[in-house]
Amino acid sequence: MNLTMKPQLLFCCTLVCSLASAASQDTSSPVSFASALDIPHLRKQGTATQLIVDGKPFLALAGELANNSATSLDYMKPIWPKLVDSKLNTVLAGVSWGQIEPVEGKFDFKIVDGVIQEARRHNLHLALLWFASWKNGMSSYPPPWVKKDFERFPRAQIAEGADPWPVLTISEVPRTKVTGNLSLELLTPLSEANREADARAFAALMRHVKEVDGRKHTVLFIQVENEVGMQGDTRDRSPGANQAFAGPVPKELMDYLQQHKDTLIPEFRKVWEAAGFKTSGTWEEVFGKGVAADEIFMAWHFARYVGRVAAAGKAEYPIPMYVNAALPRTSSIADPVLKGREPTILGYFAVGGPMADVMDIWRAGGPQIDIFSPDAYNDFADWCAKYDRSGNPLFVPESRGGSEGAARMLYAFGRHNAIGYSPMGIERSSTPDPDLTTAYDLVTQLAPLISAHQGDGSMSAVMLRSPSDPPQKVPVGNYTLQVVFTSPRRIAGEPPPQGNRSPAAAIFIAAGPDEYYAAGSGLAISFSPNTPGPPLAGLATVEEGIFVHGRWVAGRRLEGDDSDEGQFLMLGSKKGIQHFTLYRYR
């Protein structure tokens, strides 16, 4: 540095240099942000909610690792390059409470640091999954000092013989009879000691993530706990729970319900209405005698607990936080408990978890939770519709891979303005899954367009499972699209196509009054105007192509065989993008 420079010039140089060095260190100077907008956050756009990273909308093209893959850096070594090859941009990785706090108050973040550094080195983002008090409705992740001290950290209990769910091993494990009820390997949500121990550990984790990543934003959002809920009974029957259940519904919850009476989730509102919309009383007085009151009681206490944990973490580093729900096998029975029906063969399933029907209870109890997410393995479209309600953004942390997953991803982003989609066990296949990789690539190309069109009705998507699925009609911009499943056509000179049995799906974006993009495969689309004017619509131009850094690069111009002589926009068996314009006539 030339010290003979004018004083103010000298000052500027010193300032620039010190800022530069501070940024590279990232852990030296305490991380402070001009505003919460500097860190990953959520932002509304029309009816959609977007995840904003470094000032820009971000679509999480994600994949969830198997539960414990990220607990060993060596185990992860061969996996990172595979994740990169699969073209995803975000990895969901579990963090075990027991692993980071093996001794009470003593935290070890070596593995977490390694996972963050490796993700960063591979140019990948992370969502960390806080496996702590609960995982799949059980408590296998708390540290031994919690598990062993069951007086200080009490368990949930079920009534003797109340375990109608044969599939759960619980009923086969010989247990000592406790106070007439049976203790589960499940921390009770009604214990302040449990809650505060979890909240302290989570706050320590978030404080650390802020220190090591507060400027780099490798970690974008957090899942708090995993598929919480009561197993084996409709509610906790521990002494503390029985006392609370016999007591009044907290005023806080009743105030919330009264304030939101007209916008409550219909399934839940019906239960409260059936019991007379009472505004005070015991749980059974307000919600009616039966299992629905049990579920609402459990939902309130799980939400309070998880909400407190989330709040403790956000006080350190307020990036977005979500909870994920274990869902019954078929959405048709949706929430048997809430419908007051005795459980079917499914038994009691994660009772009190963030099911779509009790989102209001979770919102009232856990206002710090930003998103309620479905682990939607079955009935994907139904669960997307149930969770993309009352302003809840859709993020799917667990679902399927393969061609099914590829179709679901396009559907979630296009039809439900999803923030992200993530197949479970992404590293399980020995090589990157070709269908998923193609879909990740397609959505990456389209990302600027998708983000620009989220939340204003100028984008949609269709997913059809087979030729027997009825055609779907979707309005997108100035036209209504009639979409049918199509098997590859016999094209002269081409080998006979293999049966197209994978699910077909596509995203449709109205980029202008008559201008569109369609991305996907296996569908044939025809159009009809949905605004006044000439009643018929035709394809004016069609071209296939790709987006390179957001810029459209056209390939072949498609007419004749490739548009069924202009009758349909044809998305073949190979996933691709087409840009087309429509015209109207009579």
- 451 sits near ligand DGJ (criterion: CB under 6 A): no
92 to 89, 201, 421, 511: CA distances (angstroms): 10, 20, 11, 32
CB of 564 to ligand DGJ, least distance (A): 43
Residue type, 378: N
φ, ψ of residue 262 to 5 degrees: the values are -85, -10
CA distance 96 to 66: 13
Q: By C-beta, is 18 or 68 nearer to ligand DGJ?
A: 68
In the bound state with ligand DGJ, the residue whose beta carbon lies nearer, of 132 and 537, is: 132
Q: How far is the CB of 339 from ligand DGJ (least distance, A)?
A: 23
Cβ 226 to ligand DGJ, closest distance in Å? 5
Q: Tell the smallest beta-carbon distance from residue 227 to ligand DGJ (Å).
A: 4
d(CA 310, CA 32): 20
Nearer to ligand DGJ, 198 or 375 (CB): 375
User: Angle at the Cα of 71 (from 66 to 74), degrees rounded to 5?
Assistant: 100
Instruction: Write the interaction track for ligand DGJ spanning residues 179-218; mark x where CB under 6 A is met and - where it is not.
Output: ----------------------------------------
Residue 205 contacts residue 110 (beta carbons within 8 Å): no
Tell me how far, at minimum, the Cβ of 398 lies from ligand DGJ, in Å. 6
The yes or no reply on residue 234 touching ligand DGJ (CB under 6 A) is no
Q: How far is CA 453 from CA 40, 46, 50, 446, in A?
A: 20, 9, 11, 11
Q: Which of 136, 242, 437, 487 binds ligand DGJ (CB under 6 A)?
A: 136
> Least CB distance from residue 92 to ligand DGJ, whole Å?
10
**Shortest separation between residue 378's beta carbon and ligand DGJ, angstroms:** 12
Instruction: Answer yes or no whether residue 227 interacts with ligand DGJ by CB under 6 A.
Output: yes
Residue 118 interacts with ligand DGJ (CB under 6 A)? no
Q: How far is the CB of 350 from ligand DGJ (least distance, A)?
A: 10
Pick 388 or 398: Cβ nearer ligand DGJ: 398
Q: Which two tokens stand for residue 53?
A: 């990273």
* CB closer to ligand DGJ out of 198 and 227: 227
- Considering all CA atoms of the chain, what is the largest pairwise distance in Å, rounded to the nearest integer? 87
Taking the complex as a whole, how short is the minimal distance between the CB of residue 567 and ligand DGJ, in angstroms?
Answer: 44
Considering only residues 67, 191, 403, 422, which one is a binding residue for ligand DGJ as defined by CB under 6 A? Answer: 67
Cβ at position 377, least distance to ligand DGJ in Å: 8
Task: Give least dist CB 424 to ligand DGJ, A.
Answer: 6
| 366-385 binders of ligand DGJ (CB under 6 A) | 375
Instruction: Match 């710090």 to its residue by tokens.
Output: 368
The answer to whether 422 contacts ligand DGJ (rule: CB under 6 A) is no
Q: What share of residues in the chain are helix, strand, coil (percent, to 5)?
A: 35, 25, 40
Interface pattern 26-65 for ligand DGJ (x via CB under 6 A): ----------------------------------------
Which residues between 299 and 318 bind ligand DGJ (CB under 6 A)?
none
CB 507, CB 444: distance < 8 Å? no
Query: According to CB under 6 A, which one of 226, 392, 458, 500 is a site residue for ligand DGJ?
Result: 226
Residue 216 class from Cβ within 10 Å (0-12 exposed, 13-18 middle, 19+ buried)? middle
Tokens standing for residue 187: 């921390």
H or E element, residue 382: helix 380-387
Beta bridge partners of 178: 181
- Of the CA atoms within 13 Å of residue 211, those in its CB half-sphere come to 11
Listing from the earlier edge strand, what are the strands of the sheet with 576-585? 459-464, 504-510, 515-521, 576-585, 536-548, 551-557
Q: What DSSP line would sit under 544-568, residue for residue? A: EEEEETTEEEEEEE--GGGGTTTT-
Are 565 and 489 within 8 A, CB to CB?
no
Residue the block writes with tokens 């090591």: 212
Residue number, 115 or 424, with CB nearest to ligand DGJ: 424
d(CA 522, CA 497): 12
Smallest distance, Å, CB 35 to ligand DGJ?
Answer: 34
Query: What are residue 182's phi and psi, to 5 degrees?
Result: -110, 130
- Residue closer to ligand DGJ by CB (options 227, 514) is 227
140 binding ligand DGJ? (CB under 6 A): no
- In the list 398, 427, 435, 514, the residue contacting ligand DGJ (rule: CB under 6 A) is 398
- The upper half-sphere exposure of residue 189, i.e. CA atoms within 13 Å in the direction of its Cβ, equals 29
Is 427 a residue that touches ligand DGJ (CB under 6 A)?
Answer: no
Nearer to ligand DGJ, 373 or 521 (CB): 373
Applying CB under 6 A, the residues found at the interface with ligand DGJ are 67, 136, 226-227, 375, 398, 424
